[in-house]
């Protein structure tokens, strides 16, 4: 009954191959799930970095806006001081002229 033995071996081999195929499918599914998790984790991290960069850029923009306003105020004050200085110089010059 060599045929029966061969048949049993074939069935056992087919069963083992089926189990291996099933295990391979489970492994592939797990790898796919891990890839999705890693991708979403990476995208989440990249998104967090992008949000942090945007917040930093907004903060710098606000600082630059505030500095520009401060520089404009200083420029106006300098112009006003130069105007007052010219007025004082004119008064001194007029006072120094012989009568």
- Residues 22-37 pLDDT 10s: 888 888 888 888 888 8
- Residues 58-69 pLDDT 10s: 899 889 889 888
Note the residue count of the chain. 99
3-state SS, one letter per residue, for 31-62: HHHHHHHHHHHHHHHHHHHHHHHHHHHHHHHH
Measure the CA–CA gap between 26 and 82, rounded to whole angstroms: 82
Low-confidence ranges of the chain (pLDDT < 50): none
């Amino acid at each position: 009954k060599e045929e029966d033995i061969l048949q049993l071996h074939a069935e056992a081999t087919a069963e083992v191959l089926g189990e291996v195929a099933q295990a391979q499918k489970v492994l592939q599914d797990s790898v796919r799930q891990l890839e999705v998790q890693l991708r979403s984790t990476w995208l989440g991290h990249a998104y967090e970095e992008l949000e942090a960069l945007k917040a930093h850029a907004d903060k710098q923009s606000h600082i630059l806006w505030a500095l520009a306003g401060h520089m404009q105020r200083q420029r106006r004050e300098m112009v006003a001081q130069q105007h007052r200085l010219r007025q004082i110089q004119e008064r001194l010059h007029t006072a120094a002229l012989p009568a």
